[in-house]
Structures are given as structure tokens and as C-alpha cells.
Chains A and B, each alone.
Chain A
Amino acid sequence: KAGVTQTPRYLIKTRGQQVTLSCSPISGHRSVSWYQQTPGQGLQFLFEYFSETQRNKGNFPGRFSGRQFSNSRSEMNVSTLELGDSALYLCASSLGDREGVTDTQYFGPGTRLTVL
């Protein structure tokens, strides 16, 4: 079974630009979560999508948005990029059992975004 894939793997943008990152989950997984990882803040939850609906949201400004398609693939968009948005963006997929605490997340390789 193929794992979680993320594209692109590396991105360099300048302040003020916008960026779109893509994530394809493991086949059969309906939940996709996005995380931002920086050396200073660690791993921070951005949002989770399940069946094309945002199910959960972290504490990030509205410049960060996402969506999920009917095939469970997800995209994350960051508008008006700031220097502080430089980070590793990780996508994780899981089956998405709503009440199941056994639901294991499997991560993609990440997209490393550098904002100049």
C-alpha cells in the first residue's frame, strides 16, 4: 500500500506570495491533518479534514486554509506569506474514526517551505 505523499517536497517563496501544498493520503483513509513544525514552536496542529469537511482547527490565522476533495486528497494554502511561515509542513492521514482514540496517523515526508 502506498504511503502518504506530499508535493512539492521543497518550496522557496518570497514574502507576500501565496503557496499551495498538496497531500495524498493512504488509500482508504478519510482523515487528513496538517501540522507545522518549526525549531522554536515544535509540532503545531493546523487543521483536520474528514469527508471534505474541516472537522478540527488549530490556533492559526486565517491566512492558513485548506480543503479536501472527494478522493480524500487535501490541499493547504497559505496566503500573504511571512518570514515566520518558514517551516516543515507535515500531512498525516488516518482512517478517521470519529470517536476512536486508536486512530493512528501516518505522516508524509513533508514540504519544507522557505520564505525569503
Chain B
Amino acid sequence: AQKITQTQPGMFVQEKEAVTLDCTYDTSDPSYGLFWYKQPSSGEMIFLIYQGSYDQQNATEGRYSLNFQKARKSANLVISASQLGDSAMYFCAMREYSGGYQKVTFGTGTKLQVIP
């Protein structure tokens, strides 16, 4: 089974609108961390937001928020007021500590295109 699943290969959003990028995960560890990264066409992965499995509240960072539904094992990224510069690939990732090792797993990504 995939550890991280991003079911939307590509998405379009109108400028200034909000958009939700989906991410579901699979783990049996009670302690884990969830991350979202943005990768523009230049290639660099930019850290956006983090959510811990024990965090009671959804994480927010400026226009980014994470809709964390632990029972459903989902960690969707919400971008409010989309801007043209938001056009990029977005990756969801999970960090687990299991069996004495840390492991970071990335999803396959969602390509977001913001339309003027």
C-alpha cells in the first residue's frame, strides 16, 4: 500500500480563489509528522507547512493551512487567495520513526496551475 497518496495529478484554480490539494497517508505509528512542499519549475523544494500527529489544531502558515483529519488519515493543503506564483508542483510527505529508523516518504505530487 502507498504510504502517501495524492490523487490529483493536476489542478486548475482561478486567481484569488481558494484551492484544496488532497493527501492521504497510511501508518500504524502513533507519532508521525506531515509536511507539504512546493516545487516551482526551477526545481527547489520549498517547505510550506507542518502538522504533527498529536497536534490538536490544524496548522496554518500565512495563506497555507492544513486540514488534518486524523481518523480519516488525511492532511489536505488549503491555499487561500491563490496567486500566479502559486503555480507549481506540491508534495505531501510523512516522517515516521519506526524500528529504530526515521523514514520520510513523499507522495507523487499535484501540479497546480493558477489561471489569471
List the interface of chain A (C-beta within 8 A of B).
33, 35, 42-43, 45, 48, 55-56, 88, 90, 92, 98-110, 112
Contact = CB atoms under 8 A, between A and B. Distances in A.
Given A92-B45, A99-B97, A105 B104 contact: yes
B43 A101 contact: no
A102 B52 contact: yes
A110 B39 CA distance: 11
Contacts of A108: 44
B45 A90 contact: yes
A101 B42 contact: no
B92 to A, nearest CB: 11
Nearest to A98: B102
Interface size class of B (residues with CB under 8 A): 20 to 34
Contact of B43 (A33, A45, A110): A110
Contact of B46 (A45, A101, A107, A112): A107
Contact of B31 (A42, A90, A101): A101
B90 interface: no
Interface string B35-72: 10100001111110010110000000000000000000
Given A56-B102, A99-B97, A109 B91 contact: no
Given A42-B106, A43-B106, A101 B53 contact: yes
A75 B79 CA distance: 36
23 contacts: A42-B106, A43-B106, A43-B109, A45-B104, A45-B105, A55-B101, A56-B102, A90-B45, A98-B102, A100-B97, A101-B31, A101-B96, A102-B50, A103-B33, A103-B102, A104-B35, A104-B47, A106-B47, A107-B37, A107-B47, A109-B44, A110-B43, A112-B43
A10 B48 CA distance: 26
Interface in B69-116: 91, 95-97, 101-106, 108-109
B8 to A, nearest CB: 15
